[in-house]
Each structure stands twice: as structure tokens, then as C-alpha cells.
Amino acid sequence: MSDSRVPRRRRYLVCEPRHFAVQYAINPWMQPDVRVDVDLAQEQWQALISAYRTHGHAVDTVEPAPGLPDMVFAANSAVVVDGRVFGSLFHAPERRPESTHYDMWFKTAGFDVHRPEAVCEGEGDLVWTGRYMLAGTGFRTTREAHREVQEFFGHPVISLTLVDPRFYHLDTALFVLDDSADGNNVSYYPEAFSPGSREVLARLYPDAVLATLDDALAFGLNSVSDGRHVFIAPQAESLAASLADRGYVPVPVDLSEFRKAGGGIKCCTQEIRS
């Protein structure tokens, strides 16, 4: 069945973890007294970039800035659809300067960047499905930002409420498996969402791949799919098996060092959809 899954070449924007550290606590995963192994983080990050390139994807890099330890989490910087860039306005003051560096990269690369008026954390809470935007709220990105995103892109935005602080961004609780018009599907952890949001997801995605709590805690839902290959945390064994049963090809990439800051594969990956 896996032969029927067709990958699509992607373009990703990433940021080297040269200054990665846990210097403050803005989510339940962050403990500033826990030391980060910077060398191991570099090795893990390089393995992710190598995996992307090995599978035919293009990777661009933005220069990391000193004093911004979370800049490695490129997904939070923006969401890009049809070559249009909706930037970020971080909830935490510590992260707000990151936006300037990412905006500059996009502008230098020839993109216009929309600066949000409401708090919005890019692909952390905005998940493009190929048909519409799934938008998380509850901990970071506001509902006002959801309305702003819909006005900017002109695509329907479906608001989903997150209720578990461990899954503070939508991309820790859900990821898109296929974003093609004829095969759109997702994987998610139901209990990360409010009852009404669970109903919405069940109606939209009756065939979704559901994850367990253990999968979610292993950051298995902070994955990246190209439509066939799923770059996934190796600790999410049950989810990887479920994906393989559906014809996807799990590509394990261990980013466990980044979990100390509440991040994983998707957090480190911004997709540029031109």
C-alpha cells in the first residue's frame, strides 16, 4: 500500500541551534536548571536536515542570532501559503525579537511579510491542510489572530481549542499527513482538544490516525510529512506503526534534546509554500 503514497518535494526553512539553550520557562517542558547538550543538539539537528535532503527536499537556513535560544524553532516564525507570508507576534516577550530576523530573511528572499496585529505564533498554531487552515488557540495564538489570518489568506480558518498545557501549540497535538486536494488527512491526539474541537476534527477527518498519550508526550505529533515519508520521533513507536499500517513510511529522527525546550521535528521546520 505504501507504493500508493506519493511524496511531494517541499521547501523548508530552518535555523541552526548554535545558541540553543533553556534560559527561561514559557511552557511546561522548560526547566532552566536542566542543562542542554549543545553538541548533541547540533548532531540531532544535522541529522534532520540530512534526512530532508536525502528524501529530495530543499532546505534553506536563516542565520541564528545570539541571545535568542529558541530561534531554532523556525515553525513559529510565520506561515506561508501560495508565496504569501503571515509573520509572527510571539506571546512571550523573550521570543519577540526572533520575528525581526525571520522577516528580514523572507524579505531578502523576495517575499512580502504581513505583520500580525494579534498574538500569533506561525505554524506552531496555524496548520495548512491544502484546503483550509486549522488554527489552534488556548495558550498562545489568539482567536483575533485566526480572523486576521482568514482575512489575509482568503482561505477558511477553523479554530480549535487546546486544553492541555503540555500541548501548548497545535503542532504538538496534530500534523497533516496529506495536503493534496484528493487525499487530505491528519493525525492527532484527541484529548489535547476541547470536546467541541474533538467533534469538529472527527467530522472533518473520520479516517484520521489517532495518537496515544505516550505518542504525544514523545512529540510524535510534532512530525513532518511529505505525503509518503513521515519524519517522526523514534520514541513514538505506536504512532509510527499505525502510520506504516496506513501505507506511510516513517523516517525516525531523534530530536530528543529539543524536547527540553518543548520542541521537536516540526517546531524546527518552517515550510515555504510558494
Q: Note if 120 is an active site residue.
A: no
Q: Note if 155 is an active site residue.
A: no
Catalytic residue among 15, 120, 267, 268: 267
Sort strands 185-188 and 174-178 into parallel, antiparallel or unpaired.
antiparallel
CB count within 10 Å of CB 9 equals: 10
Catalytic residue among 57, 169, 229, 268: 169
Catalytic residues: 169, 267
